[in-house]
Amino acid sequence: MIIYLRVLKESFAFALNALRNNKLRTFLSLLGVTIGIFSIIAVLAAVDSLKKEIEGSISGLDNSTIYLGNFSFGPTEVPQWKWQQFPVATYEEYQFLKRNMPDVEAISYTLNVQNETLKYEDKSVENVAIGAVSHEYYDIEDLKIQEGRFYNEVESNNGTNVIVLGNEIANSLFSSPQVAIGKKIRLYGQKFTVIGVLKKEGMALGDSKDTAVFLPVNIVRRLFGGNNKNLFPFIIIKPEKGLDNEEFIAMLTQKMRTYRGLKPEEIDTFFVNQLQGFTDAINNMTATMNGIGGVISLFSLLVGGFGIANIMFVSVKERTNLIGIQKSLGAKNKFILLQFLFEAMILAIIGGLIGLFFVFIASLIASSFTGDFEFVLSFWNIVLGTAISAIIGLISGIVPAISASRLDPVEAIRAGG
C-alpha cells in the first residue's frame, strides 16, 4: 500500500510539473477533456434540472391518477374522425361514478375555460388561468393553502360564488395574501368572494398555479352550459393506494360502458388516460436528451483522450533517462506502468474538474436569468464527471505507460544521455 501511495505522490508531482513547465502544450491537451466533461455534465445537469422541475410540478398527483374524457393524451388506434364524435364526459357520469365506483380515494369533474381578467377596485390582472373544478380536486392534486381554505362540497354543488387565488394573483390584486381573504373580486361580470390563497409554487413548463384561480365547476356549467363540448370536460379519478391499476381501469371501463349503454361489439366511446403514461414519456424524453448529449460530448472526449495520450508520449520521451535509472536501481515494470497511468489520470481529472467548475458557474448564471427555474449540478453528476475523466486518462495513458514500462534500462540511459 505504501509503494502505491508513493507512486501516486510522484505521479501527482510529475503531472503538476508538466503543467508548470509546458503550460501551453498541457492546456491544449487538456482542453478536449475540459470541453468534453463540460458538454456532457452540462447536458446531464440541464436535463436533471428540467426533470426535477417537471416532477415537482406534478408531485401532488399520483402516477395512478386517471383522466377520463373524449380524447386520448397519447397515440390511439381509434381514427380521428371517429373519436371526434365521442360524447364528452358529463357531470352526470361524474356523479354516477362517484356513487358506484369502489376503491376511489377522490373523483373530480373539471372544465377547461379561456383565460380571463380579474378585477378588484381599480386593479386588474389579465390572462388569468381559470380552474373550474369540483371540490375533490383539492385532494387529488394535494393543493397547498397559504391563507384561508378551499371551497367545500356544498359550495361546489351549489355553484357558490367563491374563489381561490394563486399566490401571484393575490399579490397583484392585494398588498398580501392575508388581505385577500374575504374581499370580493369581479369575474364573468359577477362578484366572487376570495376564501383562499395558494402557497407559491413556481413555474414549470410555462405553467404555474401561482397565476391561476380555482372556482366551483357548477358556476361555469351555469354560465356556459351543462356539458359543453368546447370546454373539454374531464373526470379525474384517484384510486386508493395499493390497488391493481389494470383491474381498476377494467372495472371503470365496464361501468362507463354500462352507463352509456354500449353493446359488446361496440368500441369504448371514451378514453382512460393514466398519468403514468405521461411520466413514462418524460423519462423517455430525458433519456433521449441524455443520449444525444452523450454522443455529442463523446467527440470532445475523444479529442481530449488523444491530447492526453500525446502529452504522455512526450513525457515518456523526456524522462527516458530517468526511467532507465529507476529500472537500473530495481524499479519493476509495474512500478513504471502505474507511475505513468496515475499521471495520465491525474492530468485528465484536472481537466475534468476545470470542466465541472465551468458547469457550476454556468448553472449559477443560468439560474439567475431563469427566475424560478433552478439549474442544479448534483453530487452524482460531479462524481460521474470525475469518473469519466479518470477513465479517459486511464485509456489514454495505457499505451504510453506500457511503452515506458518496457524500456530497456541500458538503452534508456544511453538514449537519455
Per-residue model confidence as pLDDT tens digits over 217-228: 999 999 987 777
**166 and 261 share one domain:** yes
Calculate mean pLDDT across residues 207-216: 87
**369 and 256 share one domain:** no
**38 and 168 share one domain:** no
Question: What percentage of the chain has pLDDT greater than the value 90?
Answer: 29
Kindly report the number of other CB atoms within 10 A of residue 172's CB atom: 16
**232 and 354 share one domain:** no
**12 and 138 share one domain:** no
Whether residue 6 lies inside any domain: the answer is yes
**pLDDT confidence of residue 27:** 75
Of 269, 299, 330, which residue constitutes the final position of a domain? Answer: 269
Distance of CA 102 to the CA centre of its chain: 34
Whether residue 274 lies inside any domain: the answer is no
Q: Dump pLDDT digits (tens) for 353-382.
A: 888 888 888 888 877 776 556 677 778 888
**pLDDT confidence of residue 119:** 92
Q: In which band, very low, low, confident or very high, does the pLDDT at 165 lie, cut at 50, 70 and 90?
A: very high
Calculate mean pLDDT across residues 86-112: 93
Whether residue 65 lies inside any domain: the answer is no
**pLDDT confidence of residue 314:** 75
Q: Dump pLDDT digits (tens) for 263-312.
A: 999 999 999 988 665 666 666 776 777 777 677 667 767 777 777 787 77
Whether residue 166 lies inside any domain: the answer is yes
**pLDDT confidence of residue 164:** 95
- Between 405 and 371, the more confident residue is 405
Closest CA to 323 of 403, 265, 395: 403
Whether residue 249 lies inside any domain: the answer is yes
Q: In which band, very low, low, confident or very high, does the pLDDT at 237 lie, cut at 50, 70 and 90?
A: very high
Check pLDDT > 90 for residue 198: yes
Measured distance CA(368)–CA(382) in Å, rounded: 21
Kindly report the number of other CB atoms within 10 A of residue 246's CB atom: 8
Whether residue 71 lies inside any domain: the answer is no
Cβ atoms of 307 and 33 closer than 8 Å: yes
**337 and 232 share one domain:** no
Full residue range of the structural domain in which residue 193 is found: 87-269
- Phi, psi torsion values for 184, nearest 5 degrees: -110, 125
Question: Alpha carbon of 99 to those of 62, 70, 171: distances in Å?
Answer: 22, 21, 39
Check pLDDT > 80 for residue 125: yes
**112 and 200 share one domain:** yes
Give me the chain's average pLDDT, please.
Answer: 82
Q: Dump pLDDT digits (tens) for 12-32.
A: 676 666 666 667 767 777 777
- Between 203 and 82, the more confident residue is 82
**pLDDT confidence of residue 246:** 86
**pLDDT confidence of residue 278:** 61
**pLDDT confidence of residue 375:** 74
**99 and 247 share one domain:** yes
**pLDDT confidence of residue 274:** 81
Question: Alpha carbon of 247 to those of 70, 98, 129, 242, 244: distances in Å?
Answer: 21, 18, 35, 12, 5
**pLDDT confidence of residue 163:** 95
Q: In which band, very low, low, confident or very high, does the pLDDT at 78 lie, cut at 50, 70 and 90?
A: confident
Check pLDDT > 90 for residue 44: no
Q: In which band, very low, low, confident or very high, does the pLDDT at 108 lie, cut at 50, 70 and 90?
A: very high
- Between 145 and 348, the more confident residue is 145
Measured distance CA(403)–CA(415) in Å, rounded: 15
Check pLDDT > 60 for residue 416: no
**pLDDT confidence of residue 412:** 67
**38 and 117 share one domain:** no
**243 and 319 share one domain:** no
Q: Dump pLDDT digits (tens) for 53-77.
A: 666 555 555 567 899 998 887 778 8
**176 and 238 share one domain:** yes
Whether residue 79 lies inside any domain: the answer is no
Whether residue 69 lies inside any domain: the answer is no
**249 and 139 share one domain:** yes
**pLDDT confidence of residue 197:** 94
**pLDDT confidence of residue 204:** 54
Check pLDDT > 80 for residue 240: yes
What's the number of domains the chain is made of?
2
Question: What percentage of the chain has pLDDT greater than the value 70?
Answer: 83
Cβ atoms of 386 and 298 closer than 8 Å: no
DSSP 71: S
